[in-house]
A and B are shown apart, each in its own frame.
Chain A
Amino acid sequence: MSNPCPCCQPDILPAARRRGGGRSLARKTADSVAGAITDVLQNEETAARPGLLQRLDPRVKLLTLVLFAVTVSFVHSVWVLLGLVGLTMLLAAVSRVGVASFARKVWASAALLALLIALPSALSYFTPGQAVLSVGPVTLTEPGLMGVATLVTRVAAAAGFALLVIWTMRWSDLLHALSAMRLPDVVVATLAMTQKQILTLLRTVEQIHLARESRTLGRGTNRENRAWVTERMAFVVRKSMKTADDVYDAMLARGFTGAMPSLTHLRLRPRDWVWAAASVALCAAVLYADRIVGPR
């Protein structure tokens, strides 16, 4: 026999070890992929908690949160923007999604990035104007700093509302909401299937990278690693196309006619109307306040 009987061989895989001094390429990707998968599973969990936003009809929730995000983009005053940031924190607290992790996600990534990108723009070279701080040849201007502050608070507020959408709404509910809002069935069906396939592919990609990690001793040259990475990507492409064929067969086998009707029905309740009215009023008030307080 050419192959030894696998059931009679021991099955031991060495545990993937963390290397000292920087992660290997495979480890980096495996970690970020694992992080992404965990994020999605976590969303399901936070979306099931008994908080304020979770109890709302998905259409109303989506529309009002998008309304807030749009309002954020019209506000000019840093102070009003800070107020909106506060609102996102309040909503996060009331929806029991964990204010600490919410704040961390908003400030430690989105806002921090904005700060890093925008800070140089406070220099007089980029934004000329009244000087505020001078250190040697470097001068920070007042309009420059205000611009940075505006951007950072705006980004924080916008990221906050977007995060609230994701953390308080299950993906399937989001799709039902989009479908109820007359988005074509084919689009909704494709979104549903894509999300599912992404998760499956992510798991595969994670396994691929962990397997490589557990078998590799050295770092490998850049050329070798590049070849390996592009080969894995080609594998993902091949697998995807094969899966598309299989899924198509499965759809045909269940009598797929080309249309994608759905069974669930969404209903609006009094609390949805209350919330919608309150949101619209709040946004109007915010814009009015901005007119008065904000820079023109």
Chain B
Amino acid sequence: MPDIVAMHIPDGYLGPQTYVVMWMVMVPIWVIAARKVKRTLKAKQIPLLALGAAFAFVIMMFNVPVIGGSTGHAVGATLIAIILGPWAAVIAVSIALVIQAGLFGDGGITAIAANCFNMAVVIPFVGYYLYRLICGDAPSSSRRVISSGVAAYVAIVVGAICAGFEFGIQPHIAHAAGGQALYAPYKLSVAVPAMALEHLLFFGVVEAIVTMGVVAALARTEPELLQMMPAAKPLRWLWAVVGVLILLTPIGVLAPGTAWGEWGSDQIQSRLGYVPSGFDKLGGLWKAAMPDYTTPGVSNTMLGYLIAAVVGVALCVGIAWGAGALLARRRNNDGADPAGTVPPANASG
């Protein structure tokens, strides 16, 4: 079997300190997911989950053309979360991963829990809730398509960062006296950016292409498949979560030093002993409105940080929303929106 997914962790890269913890994290998640799924899907859960897992597995095998002659593979976990809901996606993707490891020999046995956490929990939940957040209450099909793409992109990058984190802590927590790594050899400062970049630049794009393409195709022919999950209570609590996260951002102020890669010229100077000429030239070009995450005019760093966070989040969400609305309006004007508004209730089997 070809190396399917960039995020797949084989056996041997994670030490027992890590993989055992992941097993301890996953077992309760599986139990909770199983209970939730049993309650919503009832007797139909077996065939629905089995087929969900089957198409999850099969989708990972398609070669997707990206750019030039390159092709990539998608995970599809956000797509599954959109169709089956996040809890069922946990089970379906977990089953697909277990079968990948146990039947096809792809991906390790001890690493199953870590892989399930990254791909069967993080991606579906981040992807699903981001999708719902951007979609709003009664989305048009083009709104669904855009939000699914954004959600899938962000979700897989977050999942990749988790995997990068798991790789990256290995040298920190397990090494021999001479500094020799016993498991995965790259530190956090290398592993996390590497995984993040790989997915930001390539695999995230593949994921977005696949998710948007399939959602668009389904919205055209079987829109009820995208509405199998009952329209849930409004996601106002999600805004509360975002609010809490915003409040927690000042913790960053407590961390000493500067984040990897985010050095200013003065820090480059002290690290390398000189400042590369290009850096020097371009460094001062953009005068940020809120430099270093401070708010001009507000001297208290904490408060400045908070205000910057709120402004930042507002801008991001606003841009996403606006883009969705613009595209929706354009589609409607073209008259090419067959799915139209969401019909009520979920389709039965």
Query: What is the interface of chain A, defined by CB distance below 8 A to chain B?
Result: 22, 25, 28-29, 32-33, 35-36, 39-40, 43, 66, 69-70, 72-74, 76, 105, 109-110, 113-114, 118, 121, 126-130, 142-144, 146-148, 150-151, 154-155, 157-159, 161-163, 165-166, 171, 174, 184, 186-187, 189-191, 193-195, 197-198, 200-202, 205, 222, 225-227, 229-234, 236-238, 240-241, 243-245, 247-248, 251, 256, 258, 260, 295-296
B16 touches A154 (CB 8 A): no
**B57 beta carbon closer than 8 Å to chain A:** yes
A194 touches B180 (CB 8 A): no
CB distance from A73 to the nearest CB of B (A): 5
B179 touches A162 (CB 8 A): no
B228, closest chain A residue (CB):
A241
A76 cross-chain contacts in B, Cβ below 8 A: 176, 182
Smallest CB-CB A-B distances: 4 pairs: A230-B213, A234-B217, A158-B11, A121-B185
Given A127-B179, A151-B184, A236-B59, check contact A184 B51 (CB 8 Å): no
B47 touches A244 (CB 8 A): yes
Classify the secondary structure of A's interface with B: helix
Query: Interface readout for B173-187 with A: 1 if CB under 8 Å, 0 if not?
Result: 000111111111111
Separation of A201 and B45 alpha carbons in the complex (Å): 19
Q: Contacting A166 at CB < 8 Å: which of B54, B76, B103?
A: B103
A27, closest chain B residue (CB):
B63
Given contacts A158-B109, A162-B101, 11 further A-B contacts (CB under 8 A): A29-B62, A32-B1, A35-B1, A72-B12, A150-B180, A151-B13, A163-B105, A231-B217, A244-B52, A248-B47, A251-B43
A74 cross-chain contacts in B, Cβ below 8 A: 16
A162 touches B209 (CB 8 A): no
A-B contact pairs, 13 of them (CB 8 A): A66-B109, A69-B109, A121-B181, A143-B180, A159-B12, A197-B51, A201-B57, A205-B61, A225-B65, A229-B63, A236-B59, A237-B214, A241-B225
Which B residues from 17 to 64 make CB contacts under 8 A with A? Answer: 19, 34, 38, 42-55, 57-59, 61-64
Separation of A114 and B181 alpha carbons in the complex (Å): 14
Separation of A157 and B11 alpha carbons in the complex (Å): 9
Query: What is the interface of chain B, defined by CB distance below 8 A to chain A?
Result: 1-3, 10-16, 19, 34, 38, 42-55, 57-59, 61-69, 71, 76, 79, 83, 91, 95-96, 98-99, 101-105, 108-110, 176-187, 190, 209-210, 212-214, 216-218, 221-222, 225, 349
B183 touches A154 (CB 8 A): yes
Separation of A202 and B38 alpha carbons in the complex (Å): 28
B12 touches A241 (CB 8 A): no
A197 cross-chain contacts in B, Cβ below 8 A: 50-51, 54
Separation of A207 and B100 alpha carbons in the complex (Å): 21
B225 cross-chain contacts in A, Cβ below 8 A: 237-238, 241
CB distance from B78 to the nearest CB of A (A): 13
B62 cross-chain contacts in A, Cβ below 8 A: 29, 205, 229, 232-233
Q: Contacting A195 at CB < 8 Å: which of B44, B103, B212?
A: B103
B71 cross-chain contacts in A, Cβ below 8 A: 25, 28
Separation of A159 and B71 alpha carbons in the complex (Å): 27
B179 touches A129 (CB 8 A): yes
B218 touches A127 (CB 8 A): no
B59 cross-chain contacts in A, Cβ below 8 A: 233, 236
Separation of A233 and B46 alpha carbons in the complex (Å): 22
B186 cross-chain contacts in A, Cβ below 8 A: 121, 126
A40 cross-chain contacts in B, Cβ below 8 A: 103-104
Given A147-B182, A222-B66, check contact A158 B108 (CB 8 Å): yes
A198 cross-chain contacts in B, Cβ below 8 A: 53-54, 57-58, 99
